[in-house]
Chains A and B, each alone.
Chain A
């Protein structure tokens, strides 16, 4: 006759419960950490070259593109990022993200009227990137830039949005 005592049964139940809670935590915490990991901004920002500054004539605004430095092998074309480079005068530049400050659609430059227009909801910006009209709450997002040894460099790597800039 081998009767298990009530205290032993209670202990086993509690042990079972505890082991499973520990197991769930040990699986759950890494899973949540894994899913939320990108919140820590993989990579941050980095200096990227847009090529020789001479490619961008004075007084003009031209489309340039670069590869995101924090790319993965399987990004394909989507690793490419476009930006508008405005050579104001004498080596003074402005580099804008193409993304409209309203909802991120790509703005287009019209040299004749010297305006950027967004095809989505009709946001318009002046040549210096400031908001002209429409729904955008601010001007275009602007990159920090540097000219080193005749090369134009910008600091970027993140999707520009209202809460985090290029």
Chain B
């Protein structure tokens, strides 16, 4: 032990590290901040370190070249010792990082920590949030499978909608004329050098600001933030009732970080790595690209926005939303901190969380995507065929063969792009059915040119049978009820 102490003394004399670090660790924080609610920031940082460590390991094997990337991922999964595990940890770690970071952001906002004098801490945090989402997106592209390839196509198609510079932007993004080798190299650089560098710098700034301004005290209803008195009152509280950050407050941080890491490792061990999916061969077009979960909400939004608003909202919406995030501490920089006295803030958070979750859920079930195989893979339900006339049966065949089922379900099976056809005869009359088939409309293509009159006749005859026995068929209200239509 004396030898250790001697060595330590030798090192300390030359580096002065202990003298520099001790006061930082021991700095006093409000007793109220040593809470389980305050652990998300340090947990996010821990996950970032985990991502760096596993990322470096993956880069030892991954080949950032369009012709070899996919093979090197398969090699990592199947051949490289423990490669599958490191890929899995990197994947689950990225999911956890986005999730815990979001919790951190919500907690900070609800506790009023973005208010005076911590505006810059919030701004650095928003940059960190954007960089992390950037990492999530570029990381998903490095998986270089079909989803990555067509995901880039989607990114390029959005970029192309910018006025004037659209085309140039697409080419700068792709690094070449099409999505190919130069594109992957670009995104590899962004994912591995550019954004991580930014992240490290921003984390440093964020932590420096937390140290300089102190950890936000527990918000008490009625304790209003005033620019003239806040800092004095904060310093007084810390002096009177403060505890050293290490170990008093750091204990809970350490436990939370440990739990998060263990959960990530457990997920990695249980569920394994994610992908790569299909081979990134652009001539294989039987694919339905889907983004990773953090972008499902955005993906859903693209499907649900009315087409005429799309370009404007795609280009104006995200900058507006991001700008608003940056402006939060300037919109409400003082006043009440407690969520108990900030109903608008609480409702805002609930609204945003509900909107994003609902959109993400819609992104999972994709009701707007045609089911491309439904027409040949999903049979016509037996109850709709039993006892039907030959003409009606012919119509059932037309409905199947002309891909109607890709968008319309029968007995719960088929696409959900259009309305389910069970009971359609109670909603539309014979004439209305024929008109809808021939002319389309309301998001349905017109089949007038693609069906013979005989096919239309049979199809309509079949659809007229699609109602429960007790339900009356739709009828034209302009015509008196009796005598019955000829």
Pairwise interchain contact B66-A103, C-beta atoms closer than 8 A: no
Q: Does chain B have a CB within 8 A of A76?
A: yes
Say yes or no for B391: interface residue by CB 8 A criterion. Answer: no
Asked whether, in the complex, the Cβ of A119 is within 8 Å of the Cβ of B372, the reply is: yes
- Is B178 an interface position by the 8 A CB rule? yes
| Contact of B430 with A by CB under 8 A | no
Q: Within 8 Å of chain A (Cβ to Cβ): is B450?
A: yes
Tell me if A24 is interfacial: C-beta within 8 Å of chain B. Answer: no
Number of interface residues of B (CB under 8 A): 69
- Tell me which residues across on chain A come within 8 A of B166, comparing CB atoms: 161-164
Is the CB–CB distance between A135 and B307 below 8 Å? yes
State which of A40, A74, A119 has its C-beta within 8 Å of the C-beta of B181.
Answer: A74
A161: contacting residue among B68, B167, B181, B403, CB under 8 A: B167
* Pair B285/A108 contact, Cβ less than 8 Å: yes
Whole-angstrom distance between the Cβ of B175 and the nearest chain A Cβ:
5
Are the CB atoms of A80 and B281 closer together than 8 Å?
Answer: yes
| Complex CA–CA separation, A149 to B340 (angstroms) | 79
| A157, B283: Cα distance in complex, Å | 15
A110 within 8 A of B: yes
Contact B445 A76 (CB under 8 A): no
Known: A121-B369, A122-B369. A105 touches B289 (CB 8 A): yes
Q: Which among A81, A104, A110 has the greatest number of chain B C-beta atoms within 10 A?
A: A104
Interface flags, B241-283, vs A, CB<8A=1, else 0: 0000000000000000000000000000000000000011111
Q: Is B179 an interface residue (CB 8 A)?
A: yes
Task: Give the residue of B66, B150, B287 whose beta carbon is less than 8 angstroms from that of A76.
Answer: B66
Closest chain B CB from A70 CB (angstroms): 5
- A89–B406 alpha-carbon span in the complex (Å): 29
The interface of chain B, by Cβ under 8 A from chain A, is 65-68, 149-150, 153-154, 156-162, 166-172, 174-184, 279-283, 285-289, 302-303, 305, 307, 310-311, 368-370, 372, 375, 401-404, 406-407, 417, 440, 443-447, 449-450
Interface on A for B, CB 8 Å cutoff?
A: 35-36, 38-43, 63, 65, 68, 70-82, 98-99, 102-108, 110, 112-115, 117-122, 124, 126-127, 132-137, 157-159, 161-164
